[in-house]
Structure 1
Amino acid sequence: MDAVTDEPPSETDGFKVEDLRRELAAISLERDELRDELERLHGGFQGTVLAKLTYLGDRIGKIDRKLHQIGPELLYEAQALAQLFQRFEPKATLPLVAGWALNPSGILALVDLINESRTGTIVECGSGTSTLWMAYAVKAKGRGKVVSLEHLEEYADETRALLAIHGLTNYAEVLHAPLTSHSLGEETYAWYGLDDVELAPASVDILVVDGPPGDTGRHARYPALPVLKPYLADHASILADDTNRKDEREVLGMWISEDSSLRVRHSPGRSLQIISLDRLST
């Protein structure tokens, strides 16, 4: 029978216990740190999800408001197109009023301007569907002519062909006017070259600014007024398209700040603005 001893734990056994205690404390500390990190990550995840949900909610709200606007806008454009067909009887198939073309409400505003004005010359920056409808309006009025400036020869040819099949070549002329450098003040702009354009001073009753495209440069349409101003009649009207864009609104502001004879008239559509010259009262 083995004797039972009361010897204390050996030094080696004591070290093992202390090591275990230290290891347990380290594990506990690591556990607490991991728990804190998990909570932090969870909170960050929740914050990210919340931010994303807030963003999506804002986007859905904007889309919802836009959808509510589309219905009235479509009705407005449909009514404008119906009025155009009541006033004119096109002789051939019409191109779609879409893409870069003026909306029916813009074309109707142009027709109204033609009816209100003396209607000498109408200068249009750009060409297309609007050229055709303005030619119909000029023909119906019995005087005036549309001169359209087009920087792309392909588009110029297409608009000429459109006028021809509608029998309107006597009422509108499309000129190929490649973009050239125009120095105005301290800035240089790419705008229509006027070498082949013959205009008499103060002969233009209506100026339509629907080109060049915005991607040709910042404030690409600014030169229209300073370059053509000598040819504008004393009470000429200027219709600017795409004024829902920041760049075009800035161009309008530049024109108005530089010329005290300009008067803001009205906006016949969300992307249109009509201003007029009033030289005789300044």
Structure 2
Amino acid sequence: MSNIALGIECRNENADSWRAWRILHAVFPVTGYLALACPRDVGCLADDHSCTPFACTRRSDALRAALQAAEISTEGSLEMFVTILNCATVVIALFTLAMVFKTRAEQEKLRRRQKRAETRHAAVLMNEFRQIAAFLELRDLLQPVRPLPMLREWAISPDFGLLLVDLIDEHRPRVIVEFGGGSSTLVCAYRASQATNCGIHSYDHDDSFAQRTREQLQKHGLDSHAEIHYEPLRPSQFLDDAGEVIEWYGGGSIENLPADIDMIVVDGPPSHLNPWARYPSLPAVYDKLSPDCLLILDDAARKSEQQVVERWLKEFPEFRLQSPSTEKGAAVLVRGSRSISI
């Protein structure tokens, strides 16, 4: 009905007429002038067309209809506006609530992450303290004539070296066989020379590492207490769980080892060559073991070493497992009924 001229003209200054005009103009805006004229073809009852808007029956009906429409439109618009406002309020409230929950979730996630970081940091600091304390105790026990080589990383950790010293003191081995030499060879040689009269046979697949171990022993005056054997890895009679051949020290000197081996230290070959690389350490010398033999495995926290230990225990049930706490993990297999305190 907008842009429709009602054909009514109010030529007097009647207040009701102006009120009606204002309402109509507000509700039904007409471009330009909204004429309140009474043309002759509407059949107005007044001959002089001088009637007021509410005196003419046709004009009165038109105005009433327009006013009613204006009131209905105004009420409908107001109700629609209130509905839209309520919907907008609900949407804003839901959005605000969602943002609050999201913020709280992010804060909780950040708090948990910070707590885990603090826990890891505390564990790292505690491990560093343990390794420093173990190194100082190891140095006091061995009383080396020269500084000990760098420990950790590829070499044994100080707490594993301290474990070797404790087991040598308690077990008193006469023959120690070591697969994978280095710093552990030096530690064993020091303690064996001080506490027991035993021989150490160390095997390494890398000639440069074997030579480095010999030099360290010479510097510390322990070369007479340990024999270093360079044995390159070659296909052996031992198979992994998939039936593949495991490479093992193949120089032949292992066959010449003395009988009654009291202790085996396993820190080689590197497991990155084959997850089962260290498995032959026990079956290769099984026939030469003493009734109370010990086997000490380094890096026992790794999955590859753990599966090797499980296979050993399954195939050689006379061994019992003890797992002392060390930086890289350690597994001690005890044969027979002998008990050790670690």
Q: What whole-Å deviation, never above 9, does each CA across 1:121-158 have from its counterpart, x for those lacking one?
A: 11111111111111000110140011110000000000
SS in 2 for 1:140: helix
- Structure 2 match to 1:47: none
Cα contact 2:179–2:266 (8 A) shared by 1? yes
For the residues of structure 1 that align with 2:268 and 2:108, how far apart are their CA atoms?
A: 39
Cα contact 2:175–2:198 (8 A) shared by 1? yes
Cα contact 2:319–2:334 (8 A) shared by 1? yes
Mark the runs of 5 or more structure 2 residues left unpaired by the alignment.
1-105
**Alpha-carbon offset, residue 56 of structure 1:** 8.9
Letter in 2 for 1:162: Q
Cα contact 1:180–1:193 (8 A) shared by 2? yes
For the residues of structure 2 that align with 1:226 and 1:55, how far apart are their CA atoms?
A: 50
**Alpha-carbon offset, residue 259 of structure 1:** 1.2
Alignment counterpart, residue 224 of structure 1, candidates 272, 281, 285: 281
- Structure 1 match to 2:212: 158
For 1:124-203, list aligned pairs within 5 A: 124-184=178-238, 186-197=243-254, 198-201=256-259, 203=260
SS in 2 for 1:215: coil
Q: What whole-Å deviation, never above 9, does each CA across 1:178-236 have from its counterpart, x for those lacking one?
A: 111112254410111251232123x2111011111111112111111111111211111
SS in 2 for 1:189: strand
Cα 1:228/1:57, change in 2 over 3 Å: farther
Cα contact 1:122–1:146 (8 A) shared by 2? yes
Alignment counterpart, residue 101 of structure 1, candidates 155, 162, 165: 155
Percent identity of the aligned residues? 30
For 1:1-282, list aligned pairs within 5 A: 62-184=116-238, 186-197=243-254, 198-201=256-259, 203-270=260-327, 271-278=329-336
Letter in 1 for 2:331: Q
Cα contact 2:267–2:298 (8 A) shared by 1? yes
**Alpha-carbon offset, residue 248 of structure 1:** 0.6
Cα 1:251/1:62, change in 2 over 3 Å: farther
Cα 1:142/1:245, change in 2 over 3 Å: closer
Cα 1:124/1:92, change in 2 over 3 Å: same
Letter in 2 for 1:274: V
Comparing 146-155 with 223-232, which one deviates more in the overlay? Answer: 223-232
Q: Which has the larger radius of gyration?
A: 2
For the residues of structure 2 that align with 1:57 and 1:209, how far apart are their CA atoms?
A: 43
Cα contact 2:174–2:199 (8 A) shared by 1? yes
Cα contact 2:301–2:330 (8 A) shared by 1? yes
Cα contact 1:148–1:174 (8 A) shared by 2? yes
Letter in 1 for 2:137: Q
> Higher RCO, 1 or 2 (CA under 8 Å, sep at least 6)?
1
- Structure 1 match to 2:55: none
**Alpha-carbon offset, residue 250 of structure 1:** 0.7
For the residues of structure 1 that align with 2:266 and 2:158, how far apart are their CA atoms?
A: 16
Mark the runs of 5 or more structure 1 residues left unpaired by the alignment.
1-51
Cα contact 1:138–1:144 (8 A) shared by 2? yes
Cα contact 1:148–1:173 (8 A) shared by 2? yes
Structure-1-length-normalised TM-score:
0.75
For the residues of structure 1 that align with 2:201 and 2:335, how far apart are their CA atoms?
A: 20
SS in 2 for 1:239: strand
For the residues of structure 1 that align with 2:234 and 2:111, how far apart are their CA atoms?
A: 47
For the residues of structure 2 that align with 1:250 and 1:57, how far apart are their CA atoms?
A: 37
- Structure 2 match to 1:37: none
Letter in 2 for 1:109: L
For the residues of structure 1 that align with 2:181 and 2:222, how far apart are their CA atoms?
A: 14
Letter in 2 for 1:172: A
Cα contact 2:174–2:196 (8 A) shared by 1? no
Structure-2-length-normalised TM-score:
0.62
SS in 2 for 1:214: coil
Letter in 1 for 2:302: R
